[in-house]
Structure 1
Amino acid sequence: MTFRSPLSPRLLDRLPGLSPRLTSPAARRGIAALLAVLALVAAVRPDPDRRTITVVTAAVDLTPGVVVTADQVRTTAVEDDTAPTAPLTDLTDAVDRTVAGPVRAGEILTDVRLLGPELAAAGTTDDDARIVPVRLADPSVAEILRIGDVVDVVRGSDDLESPTGAGSVSDPEVLADHALVVLVSEAATGTSRRDRVVLIALPATAATRVAAASLTDALTVVVR
C-alpha cells in the first residue's frame, strides 16, 4: 500500500490562488446573480427532446352558429403533451364549418368544437350518430334551450297545429330520448318565429325517425 506524505503537494495545491477581486463580497454576489440568471434560462428554455405539434387556434372569440372564416383561425405550435385530445391541425379542417359552442380567442379547436359527425358521436357515445335539425311547434321553447341540454323529442298532441298547416296531429309520442342539443339558432328577425332551428344529436335510427316526423308533425322537446 502506498502512503502519501503529508508534505506531498495535492492537485488543488498546485492551482494558482484566486484573485482577491473574485473572493470579495461584491464579486461573490455578482457570481451568485449570474448563476441565478443561468438557472432561470435553463428552466424556461424549451426541452429539445419534447415534441411539438401544429394546432388550429381561434384568433378571435367565436360564438355558436358562426361559420368559421380564414381570418378567424390560425395555426400555433404547442408541446404535444399539452394539447387536448383530437385537436385540429390544419386550417382547412376549421374553415367553413359551424361553431357548436362558445370559443375564446387563443383556444385550441378540437373535433367536437365544430358541428360534424365527431360531435354527434361524442354526445351520444354512438359512432354512427347524426345531427338533426328540428323546428319546434312552440318556438318559445327554443328560448330556454342551451347547448348541452339533454332532451326527449316528442310528437305533438291533437291540440297542436301541424307546422305544415295540415291540421291536427297524432297523440303525444316520444320519438327519441336522451337527445343532445348541439346548437340553437339565433332568433328569427322576420315576422315568422318558426325560422328558429334546434340541432340535436341522435343515434342514426332515432335521427331518421325524428327527421321524417319533422316534415309532417308538430314536434317539441322535454328537457331532462
Structure 2
Amino acid sequence: MPITPGGSPSLLAWFRAARRFVSWHRRSVAAALTFLAVLAGLGALSDPAGTGTEVVTVVGDVTGGRTLTRDQLTTRSVPTDLVPRGAVVAIHLAEGRTPAGPLSAGTILTEAALVGPGLTGLAAGHVAVPARLADAGIVQVLRVGDAIDVMATDTGTGEVRRVATRARVATIPAQADGGPLSSGTAQDVLVLLDVTAVEAAEVTRAAATSRLSVVLPGGSG
C-alpha cells in the first residue's frame, strides 16, 4: 500500500529505515563483489605452482648453426595451452644442440628448430666429416643446411680441385666463447659436412696436404 503524506508516522519511519538499510546493504555487496573481482584478476595474472609447463628458452639472440651453451639457455613456466608442439622442457636436452636458424631472445625452443641429436639429420647413406676451412670469415655467411662445394688448394703447387659437390653443412661447432671452433689459428674454422662416404675420404685426404675452401653454388639444392 503506498505511503501518503497523511499516512502513519511510524509506518513511514519504518519504510525510510528499511530503505536506508537496503541501500547500505547494496553498497556492501557491490564492494564485496569488486573485491572478489580484483582477487580473481590477480589470480589470473599469476601462475600458481603446477598450473604451467616448464619450457626452455634462449637468453639472448642466437645465431643459427652454432651449438648452444648452457649460459644461453634458461627455463620459464608458461600456460600449458600456449606451449608449442615439440617444446624442449629441460636444459640438458638443448645444451650442445644446434639451432637450424637464428633465434630471437625469449624464443621457446622446439625440436623442429634444432638439428637432431647425434646429427640424425644426415641424409640416408651419408656421413659427417669435419672440414677445417682456410677462411674463418666464411662461417659468417654459412648456415646449417647450406649446400656447398668443397675446394682443395694444394699448398705446394697451388692446384685447385673440387673434393665434394653440394655437401650440406651439418653443424658449425662452437667453442666456449660462442664463436666458431678453430684449430688454434686465426685463419681456419671447423665445420661438419654431410657427405657421401666417398666424398668424406676425399675431404680427409685433401685436408692433409691442401687448404680447404668452399664455393656456394647457385640454384636450389
TM-score (ref. length: structure 1): 0.54
Residue type matched to 2:138 in 1? A
Which of 142, 146, 157 is equivalent to 2:142? 146
Report the identity percentage: 22
Q: Compute the RMSD of aligned alpha carbons.
A: 4.6
Match for residue 190 of structure 2 among 190, 197, 201: 197
TM-aligned CA deviation for residue 222 of structure 1: 1.5
Structure 2 counterparts to residues 38-187 of structure 1, below 5 A: 40-41=41-42, 43-44=44-45, 52-59=52-59, 65=66, 68-69=69-70, 72-95=72-95, 97=96, 99-100=98-99, 102-103=102-103, 106-111=106-111, 116-117=116-117, 121=121, 126=123, 131-136=128-133, 139=135, 142=138, 145-148=141-144, 150-156=146-152, 161-162=153-154, 165=155, 167=157, 171-172=161-162, 175-177=164-166, 179-180=168-169, 182-183=171-172, 186=180
**How big is each residue's C-alpha offset from its partner over 1:130-186, in whole Å with a ceiling of 9 and x where there is no partner?**
5443233x5267155232562232445xxxx23xx464657547x343724643763
Report the CA distance shift for 1:177/1:108 in structure 2 as closer, same or farther (over 3 A): same
Q: 2-side partners of 1:197 and 1:153: how far apart?
A: 15
Inter-partner Cα distance in structure 2 for 1:29 and 1:154: 76
Q: Classify the secondary structure of the residue corresponding to 2:138.
A: helix
TM-score scaled by length of structure 2: 0.55
Distance 1:154 1:116, change over 3 A: same
Structure 1 residues 149, 75: closer, same or farther in 2, change over 3 A?
closer
Q: Match of 1:197, SS?
A: strand
Give 5+ residue unaligned stretches, structure 1: 1-15
Contact 2:125 2:196 in 1 (8 A): no
Q: Secondary structure of 1:220's match? A: strand
Q: In the TM superposition, what is the alpha-carbon distance from 1:187 to its structure 2 partner?
A: 8.2
- CA shift digits 1:95-141 (9 cap, x unpaired): 4x1544655554433346555447662xx7x57765443233x5267
Amino acid at match of 2:168: A
SS at match of 2:142: coil
Comparing 212-221 with 176-185, which one deviates more in the overlay?
176-185
Secondary structure of 2:205's counterpart equals coil
- Counterpart residue number, 2:9: none
